[in-house]
């Protein structure tokens, strides 16, 4: 294995595989947009750097408390979450295992030019089972191991480089997401992995074609930079809406929808809303760049009143102690100052509001409620 010597990104990357496997035209479409980042992406990179440092130096995460990793101080909550990941990976290590951390693997035998950097892997020589671990630091979208193309491509890359040794008999791919409830895993035999790889090879070759077709879908469109300008997604959204409502006449009544229509709307609502949001962002950017957009302009949004400098002293002179109000600090701030264990005994976790999910969702069914209708957002109230 080559190790991680420089930051590079493959055209058909493992991390972006859900996109190009679902939409062959996505890589070429995204190439027209500049690379951007976000505070969440930077936070994730910071957590991965801390985890790698701990792995390589055989340290716990709290060793780096108060220190800078890649130029940034390590926050207390990151220490705790990264330690969960470290504990999980280390639970599979024995005297008969080999640890790999932040290793670049090559799966170009399946995906032309394909490579990626896996977070960590543990190869058990006594059983031949290879564990591949992918740390997901985000807390917004749950990621599961079943059918996870990123983890599978890492497995193919590791198999590509180590199969000649004859030591690997199978793979267990783990997704570790500390801030979203824990971990999940998927077991694959070498035969199953190679069979999946044959399908991936077909999709990869199609994605390299100059006229590769686009296909709309929730997974591939989620992080696509081109979705706000995508005619295929526009046609999909238009078709989905018109197909359900065209024959209902002018008076739209939710009660008149069939179960099939409601199911299709629920299955595609997040994709359609994401498309509408992306269109709005695209238009705003054009106007901000001075290009303008027919029929639209930017106006000042709602603003809030704020105290000006010197107001504290003025209010204290007039109101004394009544110039200030007291309230408890937030739970997160308390945990940062005191630690999660000390705060935990003073907390309770009440049942959350019922939320709609597919039957295949791994979460347990919520308890029966007399009337849960008020707990749901009105899905017809789509932002304009």
pLDDT of residue 276: 78
Dihedral through CA 199, CA 204, CA 205, CA 209, nearest 10?
140
- Give CA–CA dist 46/43, Å, rounded: 5
CATH of 17-207, one of 3.90.320, 1.10.3470, 1.10.150, 1.10.101: 3.90.320
Q: Both tokens of residue 363?
A: 């979460």
- Give CA–CA dist 157/107, Å, rounded: 4
- Give CA–CA dist 287/18, Å, rounded: 32
Q: Using the CB atoms, write b or e for 139-159: b if 16+ within 10 Å.
A: eeeebebeebbbbbbbbbbbb
CB of 105 closer than 8 Å to CB of 157: yes
Q: Both tokens of residue 241?
A: 């809406």
Q: Both tokens of residue 215?
A: 């296909």
Residue 27, CA distances (Å) to 11, 173, 218, 237 in order: 7, 25, 16, 21
pLDDT of residue 379: 36
Domain ranges of the chain: 17-207, 226-288
- Give CA–CA dist 124/130, Å, rounded: 6
Residue 312, CA distances (Å) to 235, 308, 322, 327, 329 in order: 56, 9, 11, 18, 20
CA angle at 65 for the pair 63 and 70, rounded to the nearest 5°? 100
Helix and strand tally (H, E) in the chain?
12, 7
Residue 328, CA distances (Å) to 50, 324, 331, 333 in order: 32, 13, 9, 10
Q: Residues of the chain whose pLDDT is less than 50?
A: 1-7, 248, 368-384
Q: Both tokens of residue 97?
A: 């295992």
Residue 319 CB-half CA count within 13 A: 11
CB of 114 closer than 8 Å to CB of 153: yes
pLDDT of residue 8: 53
The runs of H, that is alpha helices, within the chain are 17-22, 26-30, 39-57, 76-90, 149-162, 190-207, 218-222, 231-245, 259-288, 311-319, 331-338, 340-344
- Give CA–CA dist 276/230, Å, rounded: 11
Dihedral through CA 137, CA 140, CA 143, CA 149, nearest 10?
-90
- Give CA–CA dist 178/285, Å, rounded: 35
pLDDT of residue 252: 56
Torsions phi, psi for 230 (to 5 deg) = -90, 115
């Amino acid at each position: 294995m080559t190790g991680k010597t420089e930051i590079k990104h493959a055209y058909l990357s493992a991390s972006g595989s859900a996109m190009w496997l679902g939409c062959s035209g996505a890589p070429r479409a995204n190439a027209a947009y500049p690379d951007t980042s976000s505070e969440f992406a930077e936070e994730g990179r910071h957590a991965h750097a801390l985890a790698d440092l701990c792995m390589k130096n055989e340290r716990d995460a709290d060793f780096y408390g108060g220190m800078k990793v890649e130029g940034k101080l390590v926050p207390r909550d990151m220490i705790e979450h990264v330690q969960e990941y470290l504990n999980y990976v280390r639970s599979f290590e024995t005297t008969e295992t080999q640890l790999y951390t932040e290793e670049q693997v090559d799966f170009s035998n399946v995906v032309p030019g394909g490579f990626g950097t896996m977070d960590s892997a543990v190869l058990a020589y006594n059983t031949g089972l290879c564990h591949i671990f992918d740390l997901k630091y985000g807390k917004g979208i749950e990621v599961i191991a079943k059918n996870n193309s990123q983890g599978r491509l890492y497995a193919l890359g590791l198999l590509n480089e180590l199969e000649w040794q004859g030591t690997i008999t199978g793979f267990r791919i783990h997704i570790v997401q500390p801030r979203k409830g824990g971990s999940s895993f998927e077991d694959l035999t070498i035969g199953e992995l190679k069979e999946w790889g044959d399908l991936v090879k077909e999709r990869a070759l199609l994605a390299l074609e100059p006229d590769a077709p686009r296909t709309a879908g929730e997974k591939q469109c989620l992080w696509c930079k081109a979705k706000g300008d995508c005619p295929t997604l526009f046609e999909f959204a238009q078709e989905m809406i018109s197909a359900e409502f065209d024959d209902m006449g002018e008076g739209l009544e939710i009660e008149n929808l069939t179960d099939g229509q409601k199911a299709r709307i629920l299955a595609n609502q997040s994709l359609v809303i994401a498309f509408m949001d992306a269109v709005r962002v695209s238009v705003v950017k054009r106007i901000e760049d001075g290009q303008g957009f027919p029929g639209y302009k930017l106006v000042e949004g709602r603003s809030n009143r704020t105290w000006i400098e010197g107001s504290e002293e003025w209010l204290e002179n007039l109101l004394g102690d009544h110039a200030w109000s007291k309230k408890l600090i937030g739970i997160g701030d308390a945990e940062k100052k005191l630690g999660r264990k000390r705060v935990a005994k003073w907390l309770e976790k009440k049942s959350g509001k019922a939320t709609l999910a597919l039957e295949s969702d791994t979460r347990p069914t919520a308890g029966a409620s007399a009337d849960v209708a008020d707990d749901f957002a009105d899905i017809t109230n789509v932002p304009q």
